[in-house]
Chains A and B, each alone.
Chain A
Amino acid sequence: MSLPSLLRKLKLPVAAMLMAILFSACNAKTEESAGIKPEMYTDSLFAVMKADRTNYTKLIVKRLGPAGANVIKPDEHWEDLENGAPLPAQMFRAGAEGVTGLTDKFTYSLQSLWPVNKQNAPRTDLEKQGLQYIADNPGSNFYGEEKLGDVTYFTAVYPDVAVAEPCVNCHNNHKDSPKTDFKLGDVMGGVVIRVPL
């Protein structure tokens, strides 16, 4: 077989191979640019938040507070006390406020269907839906998208569970708490994480 006729015969298979290589390269590039899925991103963020929050509650508030060594005073108005320490929920919110000064890639907040401070009740439709979902389905997370202002967000809602006695004690006895029969392990609220898309 002469070289020109061989080339003519191979033209189609070679073109097909080239197309396939090009397509797979494009595909690989598309996958690469998609990066980490929002759900995995917020799940990871929540894991860190939950670990820190649980540790603060158990290792600091419970251990050093009035139920333990009684050397610090975890109190809602901790700044007015010489040895005052923020309550776990306040510590969590302080973190959320700190993050706003560091990045605009995500925001988070602590909310509840039974908030001590009414400003921490869910506000957006998706927040209301998500908070209700995690209360009705203990152990499950909630994910969705919502448009707030001009921006569309991936919004994830995670259950905030009573991990230690101080959580239950404080909420059940607070005069502004709409629910006073929380038990250890109950879903008390939700952590809402938002990622602008």
Chain B
Amino acid sequence: MLVKKKVFWIIWLLFTLMLSAYFLIPLIKQENQGMFLIGETTHGHHQIEMACDACHTKPFGGKEVLQDACVSCHAEELKAVSDSHPKSKFTDPRNADRVALLDARYCVTCHREHREEITHEMGLSLPEDYCFICHKDIAEDRPSHAGMAFDSCASAGCHNYHDNQALYEDFLIKHAGGEAIKAHSQRPTLNAFELLNAKKGYKALSIEDLLATEKTYDGDILQAWQASNHARSEVGCSDCHQQEQEPWNDHPAVATCESCHEFQAETFFLGKHGMRLNADLGNMTPAMAKVEMKADAAHKELSCTSCHDSHQPDLSKAATESCMGCHDSEHVRNFPSSPHALSTDVSCATCHMPREQKVEQGLKIFRVNHNQNMNLKPNEKMIRSVCMDCHSLEFSIDALADEKLLENNFSGKPEVHIRSVDMAIERDKSKSNKDSLYH
């Protein structure tokens, strides 16, 4: 009887230890933590869901801790788009009654993670008529809005909670009218290389300039390199393949590219292509994606060189061919037969990796933002950064609101019309607007 009891206790002890180890080891080693996920992660965060501490930076602290995590990744973006509902609007005590109904001081009030069953487009986990809480009397100030459903405020082309840069009333009025397709594209030309090279006075390297090393160079690679911007800006083989006396590396990591292409790398890390690398979770692969991908590309690993052939002088491969090597949605499949592809030089990157102006060393430089999610959703974010380079504001709003056009990759004219511009013009005419020096 005593022996039986002893055996029971030993089994119980072993079972307890094993169970504890099963849960504690992943926590301590911070790997294979999938068992702790309390629900499906949204499209915006699923890539880094195994890095629990990316958001849950401390075990205790609740909403404040989560808020800090949200802000650490998204603050700059919200600032850049002049967030229409910044936290400071809700920390003012005069809005205490509103905060009691909707605590908009915290991102997680509207964006609860791991709650797929209640999550809408844009990661919104509230009922879609939430605008009602603060703007229920909007029709008093804007009679044109009387009778409109409150779940339609954030419809394509009307309003966004955060980014209204292309939708605010005065912008709609200022850019009303104009040709649907402009005679000349106003797309900025990439000038970083030319401007900085001229400023730094680089002299192009040739194959003869390369230092003799034990490495045997591939002739084709050398010819390609000689014609590339790398050679033109005095970047030789060892600058990438053998940094700081390290052994030769055939496949330089993103950090090597980042040492010169800082802005491109920074923005790459913010997007869905690079956010896993940023969280030290290894490379993103199409197999992990939640959008449609080509089966034969499932295990390709995303880094700078998965899209760019760094030895080639032609960067256009990365602008379309590389994207289509993995992505397989209807929108993507229809691109080659679209007017953009057939009649213009518009590529995937034209729209999804817009050119941004930065002032650097006193020079106005246009560079490619490599966070392809920055202007993706809601799609009105594209209007100013991309669409209006070639199209009128009204055409852009209508086209982006037309589901069919999005699927067939803009083959045809918009069949829906959003009245935002009309309403802004009508209201403006109804007011006794006078000229002023200040607006």
Contacts and interface: CB of A to CB of B under 8 A. Distances in A.
Given A118-B141, A169-B438, A170-B436, A77 B170 contact: yes
Contact of B94 (A101, A104, A175, A192): A192
Interface in A100-140: 100-101, 104, 107, 109, 118, 123-124, 127
B133 to A, nearest CB: 14
Given A100-B92, A149-B96, A194-B93, A174 B437 contact: no
B188 to A, nearest CB: 14
A34 interface: no
B151 interface: no
B438 A149 contact: no
A67 B432 contact: no
Interface string B80-122: 0010001110011111110110000000000000000000000
A159 interface: no
B92 A76 contact: no
B433 interface: yes
A170 B94 contact: no
Contacts, number: 76
Nearest to A87: B438
25 contacts: A66-B437, A76-B439, A77-B170, A79-B82, A80-B171, A96-B88, A97-B86, A100-B87, A100-B92, A104-B91, A118-B141, A124-B94, A148-B97, A149-B93, A149-B96, A151-B93, A169-B436, A169-B438, A170-B436, A173-B433, A173-B434, A173-B435, A173-B439, A175-B428, A194-B93
A104 to B, nearest CB: 8
B184 interface: no
Given A148-B93, A148-B96, A173-B434, 13 more contacts: A65-B437, A75-B438, A76-B170, A77-B171, A80-B171, A97-B86, A104-B91, A107-B91, A149-B93, A149-B100, A166-B437, A169-B437, A170-B439
B4 interface: no
Interface of A: 61, 65-67, 74-77, 79-80, 87, 96-97, 100-101, 104, 107, 109, 118, 123-124, 127, 148-149, 151, 153, 166, 169-170, 172-176, 192, 194, 196
Contacts of B171: 77, 80
B438 A148 contact: no
B431 interface: yes
Contacts of B141: 118
The SS class assigned to the A binding surface is: mixed
**Interface size bracket, B side:** 20 to 34
Nearest to B135: A119
Interface-centre pick from B82, B87, B428, B438 (highest chain A CB count, 10 A): B438
Interface-centre pick from B88, B95, B99, B435 (highest chain A CB count, 10 A): B88
A123 B88 contact: no
A109 B90 CA distance: 12
B437 A123 contact: no
Contacts of B93: 107, 148-149, 151, 153, 194, 196
B88 A101 contact: yes
Contacts of A76: 170, 438-439
Contacts of A170: 436-439
A193 B96 CA distance: 15
Top 4 nearest A-B pairs (CB, nearest first) are: A149-B96, A173-B436, A175-B431, A97-B88
Interface in B47-101: 82, 86-88, 91-97, 99-100
A100 B87 CA distance: 9
A100 B91 contact: yes
A118 B435 CA distance: 21
Contacts of B437: 65-67, 166, 169-170
A148 B94 contact: yes
A128 B194 CA distance: 59
A65 B439 CA distance: 12
A166 B439 CA distance: 11
Contact of B92 (A109, A118, A173): A109
Interface string B407-439: 000000000000000000000100111111111
Contacts of A104: 91
Contacts of B428: 175
A173 B82 CA distance: 25
B278 to A, nearest CB: 26
Nearest to B98: A123
A75 B132 CA distance: 30
A189 B170 CA distance: 24
Contacts of A75: 438-439
B431 A176 contact: yes
A62 B198 CA distance: 40
Contact of B436 (A109, A124, A127, A174): A174
Nearest to B430: A175
Interface string B125-147: 00000000000000001000000
A74 B436 CA distance: 11
Contacts of A153: 93
B313 to A, nearest CB: 34
A109 B431 CA distance: 27
A81 to B, nearest CB: 11
Contacts of B100: 149
Nearest to A126: B94
A70 to B, nearest CB: 9
A79 B100 CA distance: 32
